[in-house]
Structure 1
Amino acid sequence: MESIKLNELSDRLIEKLLNKSAVIGVIGLGYVGLPLAVEKAKAGYKVIGFDVQQKKIDMVNSGYNYIGDVIDEDLRIMVKNGSLQATSDYSFLSDVDAVAICVPTPLDIYQQPDTSYVESSTKAISEYLHPGMLVVLESTTYPGTTEELVKPILEATGLRCGEDFFLAYSPERVDPGNKFFNTKNTPKVVGGITPACSQVAQTLYRQVLDGDVHAVSSPSIAEMEKIYENTFRHINIALANEMAILCDRMGINVWEVIDAAKSKPYGFMAFYPGPGLGGHCIPVDPFYLTWKAREYNYHTRLIELAGEINNSMPEFVVQKIGEILNKFKKSVNGSTVYLLGVAYKKDIDDYRESPVLKIIELLEERGAKVLISDTHIDSFRYNGNQYECVELTEQRLAEADITVITTDHSGFDYGLIGRASQSLFDTRNGMKSYDKPENYHLL
């Protein structure tokens, strides 16, 4: 009987996914959830987005886009034709056939994973869990979360995973600002609790995405795969940063070194130094693994050392600013330091975990007057303080004691920056294709 029941439920859900009669839910309408919700609606499904922030709900329901990777017109059309709606009322989960959890998984003050958002979302789903429902966790987390945290909460309802409902993990792969890869065309990894769970989840993503769907044998494999992706970048960026520090002491241009190394057609992948790591993923995700490794009596030395190097870069940048000012008999205290860019990477409006925030804090602690311009951000909050970005002008560049390129936005006028700056410190090689002023310094 169990085998018949399993086949009936999975086959019925797969049929609904294929004929687009399934209702899809997305919990968390942020950088991951909203693009996913829009793509599912564009694929022909009725989609209900859930969020605890009323502001986001109102913006979605009015067709107002607040995520860079979503096309404004796509959202307006999906909302207007009724394919996408947002709500904070989780009772609508009663009508949902498949739901994706796309909520934050930050680190707490002790650098340990905070899975409270995943837990609360799962509990909300459990209140309306029904036979034949698919639940997919997309939030980046430590290996074992799906089976050790999500599954027990759902099974506390009395329904059995793989028999009454289906559960899988499929890590988000979002790269804000990427002009080539987005939610639609990036390959997807899926790991189900059981083969049936995996099959149902794969069916959903194959109807929505153009990218390949790569199935793995368990949620833990998929969870570890995601951590490995981000740890790979974390460590290689740390190597580039360490090379930058050493090259600075040796009087060698690290950017030219990297350009020369990447001429090799095999065995090398270029990573670049900068003022530090930012965003929700790279600075945070590797520490999920560091935390989990302690359970197995293993110390992830390389990951933690990479974290130390990357976290030290804002301090290194401020130290270099002080050294440059000192050449002109100026101190950081009392100097005007003009930072160009607060976003953590080029051409986006996201400043989560941006190393520039720490640079601002360190400069202010040392008595500097900090000015900030950003072509994508008008204002932001940090440490309880409100900061307003100013317009980039020739006068501000000329009056600042030092200008620092902290984010290499395409919208900056680099010709003007080069001409007008008293002294220029470039942490991103943003001036690579432009004339450099006499007092130009490169990280």
Structure 2
Amino acid sequence: MGLIEKLHQVEATVGVIGLGYVGLPLAVVSAKAGYSVIGFDVDATKIERLYAGESYIEAVEASDLVAVSDKCAWTTDFADLSKCDVIIICVPTPLNHHREPDLSYVEQTAKVIAKHMTPETLVVLESTTWPGTTEEVLKPLLSASGLTLGSDVFVGYSPEREDPGNATFRTKTIPKIIAGDGPTAQALMEAFYGAVVETVVSVPSPTVAEAVKITENIFRSVNIALVNELKLVYDEMGIDVWQVIDGAATKPFGFMPFYPGPGLGGHCIPIDPFYLAWRARKFDVPTRFIELAGEINTNMPNHIVHRTREVLDRASGRGLNGARLLLVGVAYKKNVSDMRESPAMRLMQLFEEAGAKIDFIDPHVPEIPPMREYGLFEGRTALNPSEVMAGSFDAVVIATDHDQIDYTALLDLDCPVVDTRNAISKRGLPMEQVTKA
């Protein structure tokens, strides 16, 4: 039976490499569609937890793992890639210390695939990257297998579109952009993803698909930078930017609301624009608009620290040195535990460099996990709400507006509150001791 028949009859084995926020949900929905799935990860702890029926991300429930237990195997042994008809790469694509693309995870993964894959295999990259990666990086590495691309091995790109914490759209219901390298690969992509998700959107080439993903995230980055800058301008004018945005959002056309914050978090928006800016330099094309947006967003934690210092100066004349601060929320967005690129970590670093003592509360993050940066904070634990007592803090800084936070209790602490998310006002609570920042 050929690969296209296996896919149409849902008899193929799917290998998913990287069982994080992208790979694990994809593995589960693929199994729910009827495919046999092998999930690969270098982290043996993840494998143990999955076999124990324990999920480590909000998008996958323990009940989901139970439901697909007869369809899924989890392993750190990449030799099992030889058993897979479809291999999907869901590994990180971070920036290096020079804020340039780091494709080392993709490259290492492609080399391992080349060692173990067999003829009649579809290899799909889902990691976000610069336009041209599939053609210029992935394909040459897979060619080292000795198999012929386009006849033995087929290559495609399908960007992940996960949105942690979004209860409306999940992996199965998010429209899926797909592109195969050639008509046969395109047909294979359509057959596989068509069985797994509700809506498949085909584009002409992997390079176009890569550019689609980059464009989506640059759109958000630029618009968030715009409202962050407007916040700074309107603050000086004594105008509440959230009130302005809410008013503008009533226009039924020509406006889309974006909201300011303490900086950007998550794997995509703080990183992806730099991938395109780096790539554009190869073509001698400036990306001033994109880079300016990145500069504005990256500088927002410094603004929050400055405003907090001002608040403390007015309240007690003491500034940040020696102040005890309560940081509310350390995840990068509300109602999730995702710490990737969280601006709260940058805030914590800047506050402590200024001499402040930081405690935090977060109902989704009881302990700060290992991170590529901010290793100094690894293992720090959240305060129990019962430990948060009036008179214990000089100021409260709201970095992430989780719904589970008791905001009335924060006001009862009888100290200034610096609110970077408009959390107090939008709940209709008293604003006398609150500074929007």
Q: TM-score of the superposition, structure 2-length normalised?
A: 0.96
Q: What percent identity do the matched residue pairs reach?
A: 48
Deviation at 1:437, TM superposition (A): 4.3
* Code of the aligned partner of 1:434: G
Is 1:183 paired with 2:187?
no
Deviation at 1:420, TM superposition (A): 2.9
1:62, 1:393 → 2: CA distance?
32
Going from structure 1 to structure 2, the CA distance change for 1:280 and 1:378 (only over 3 Å counts) comes to same
Question: Tell me, what secondary structure is at the counterpart of 1:388?
Answer: coil
2:204, 2:391 → 1: CA distance?
60
Q: What CA deviation, in whole Å up to 9, does each residue of 1:51-96 have, x standing for no partner?
A: 11111111112221111101210112312x2x11111111111111
- Counterpart pick for 2:88 among 80, 100, 105: 100
Going from structure 1 to structure 2, the CA distance change for 1:437 and 1:421 (only over 3 Å counts) comes to farther
5+ residue gaps, structure 2: none
1:177, 1:326 → 2: CA distance?
37
**1:415 maps to what in 2?**
408
Is 1:430 paired with 2:418?
no
Is 1:120 paired with 2:102?
no
Going from structure 1 to structure 2, the CA distance change for 1:182 and 1:397 (only over 3 Å counts) comes to farther
Deviation at 1:330, TM superposition (A): 2.3
**1:28 maps to what in 2?**
18
* Code of the aligned partner of 1:29: L
5+ residue gaps, structure 1: 1-10
**2:347 maps to what in 1?**
359
Q: What CA deviation, in whole Å up to 9, does each residue of 1:356-384 have, x standing for no partner?
A: 11111111111111111001001115333
**1:3 maps to what in 2?**
none
What value does the CA root-mean-square deviation take over the aligned residues? 1.3
- Counterpart pick for 1:43 among 11, 22, 33: 33
1:51, 1:383 → 2: CA distance?
22
Q: What CA deviation, in whole Å up to 9, does each residue of 1:231-287 have, x standing for no partner?
A: 000000000100111111111000000000100000111000000001111000111
- Counterpart pick for 1:401 among 390, 394, 402: 394
2:4, 2:252 → 1: CA distance?
44
Tell me if structure 2 keeps the 8 A contact 1:60–1:85.
no
Deviation at 1:164, TM superposition (A): 1.6
Runs of 4+ with deviation above 6 angstroms: none
Going from structure 1 to structure 2, the CA distance change for 1:272 and 1:291 (only over 3 Å counts) comes to same
Stretch of structure 1 that moved more, 152-161 or 333-342: 152-161
Deviation at 1:418, TM superposition (A): 2.5
* Code of the aligned partner of 2:252: P
- Counterpart pick for 2:145 among 147, 152, 157: 157
**1:377 maps to what in 2?**
365
- Counterpart pick for 1:262 among 230, 249, 265: 249
Tell me if structure 2 keeps the 8 A contact 1:129–1:154.
no
2:299, 2:365 → 1: CA distance?
25
Tell me if structure 2 keeps the 8 A contact 1:421–1:437.
no
Question: Tell me, what secondary structure is at the counterpart of 1:30?
Answer: coil
**1:12 maps to what in 2?**
2
Counting matched residue pairs gives 430
